[in-house]
């Protein structure tokens, strides 16, 4: 076993939010996943529409990683008719959620920054999927961009559990989300020079509610910024967060990996 492999293996991390079905990985998807797994990094790859969710599940089975399935707010417009998420879509998502290695409903939520889908359709898709996750007792992975109030309202009404991913807000918003029992997912944005507010927030979040992610292929952390992101780089996120919290990388990894295992029930699957 090569020397640096042994060192890497000492730190186990989970990239709780990747988009491995993206075309950016077409040339080297297999190697990219193996690179992460060999470095002790587990992965949860997200679905963003029905095809992408099927792909995520396929990748989870093929590579012994994990998947989440759901309709992203950008795609909601295609799947909402007469103020409802198409029932065939909900049925298919439910079937996928019951497959092995499918650990969450995601990526779901609201995006009022890009507004690629009408807001009414986004709200319907979010509510209907949130309700399904609640009924099946599965965690949700939530995308929130400039939609704080509407996201909080749905979280409050819904009583499902999960993570608000790619969190970039201030401590007050973090607190509102934490009060509802949710986790916060932190990615490479925490390493960007302009992210001072986020770094202050990350210092203040209770360690037991923090999980790490890449959101790859987007948002590569410093020192890989500008390149295609990949699960391996969750290590740079971990290093940055450890430094902010005055913890060793080992301690930070132990805590955040434990949180991810607990939230997504990964231990049950890895050990069975």
Q: List residues near Zn ion by CB under 5 A.
A: 107, 215
Q: Which residue's CB is nearer to Zn ion, number 107 or number 111?
A: 107
Q: Where does residue 137 fall: left (phi above 0), alpha (psi -120 to 50 degrees), or beta otherwise?
A: left
* Cα angle value 186/164/21 (rounded, 5°): 75
Closest CA to 93 of 82, 83, 107, 78: 107
Instruction: Compute the least distance from the CB of residue 48 to Zn ion, in Å.
Output: 7
Return the half-sphere exposure (C-beta side, CA atoms, 13 A cut-off) of residue 272. 8
* Shortest distance (Å) from residue 41 CB to Zn ion: 17
Q: How far is the CB of 220 from Zn ion (least distance, A)?
A: 14
Nearer to Zn ion, 48 or 191 (CB): 48
Measured CA to CA, the distance from residue 209 to residue 230 in angstroms comes to 23
- Give the shortest CB-141-to-Zn ion separation in angstroms: 8
Q: How far apart are CA 206 and CA 183, in angstroms?
A: 10
Q: Closer to Zn ion at the Cβ: 11 or 188?
A: 188
- Least separation in angstroms between CB 108 and Zn ion: 10
Minimum CB distance to Zn ion smaller for 45 or for 201: 45
Fill in the DSSP letter of residue 140.
E
Nearer to Zn ion, 40 or 106 (CB): 106
The Cα–Cα gap between 259 and 219 comes to: 22
């Amino acid at each position: 076993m090569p020397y640096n492999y042994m060192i890497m293996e000492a730190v186990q991390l989970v990239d709780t939010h990747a988009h491995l079905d993206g075309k950016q990985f077409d040339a080297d998807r297999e190697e990219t996943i193996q690179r992460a797994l060999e470095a002790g990094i587990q992965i949860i790859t997200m679905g963003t529409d029905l095809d992408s969710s099927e792909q995520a599940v396929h990748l989870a089975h093929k590579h012994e990683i994990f998947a989440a399935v759901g309709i992203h707010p950008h795609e909601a417009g295609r799947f909402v008719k007469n103020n409802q998420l198409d029932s065939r879509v909900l049925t298919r998502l439910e079937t996928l959620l019951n497959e092995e290695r499918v650990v969450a409903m995601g990526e779901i939520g609201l995006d009022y920054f890009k507004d690629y889908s009408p807001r009414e359709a986004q709200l319907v898709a979010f509510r209907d999927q949130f309700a399904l996750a609640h009924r099946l007792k599965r965690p949700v992975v939530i995308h929130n961009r400039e939609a704080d109030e509407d996201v909080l309202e749905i979280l409050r009404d819904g009583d499902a559990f999960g993570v608000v991913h790619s969190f970039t807000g201030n401590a007050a918003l973090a607190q509102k989300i934490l009060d509802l029992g949710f986790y916060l997912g932190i990615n490479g944005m925490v390493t960007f020079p302009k992210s001072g507010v986020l770094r202050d927030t990350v210092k203040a979040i209770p360690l037991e509610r923090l999980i790490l992610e890449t959101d790859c292929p987007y948002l590569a952390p410093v020192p890989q910024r500008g390149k295609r992101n990949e699960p391996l780089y969750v290590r740079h996120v971990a290093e940055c967060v450890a430094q902010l919290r005055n913890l060793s990388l080992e301690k930070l990894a132990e805590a955040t990996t434990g949180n991810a295992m607990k939230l997504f029930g990964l231990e049950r699957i890895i050990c069975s």
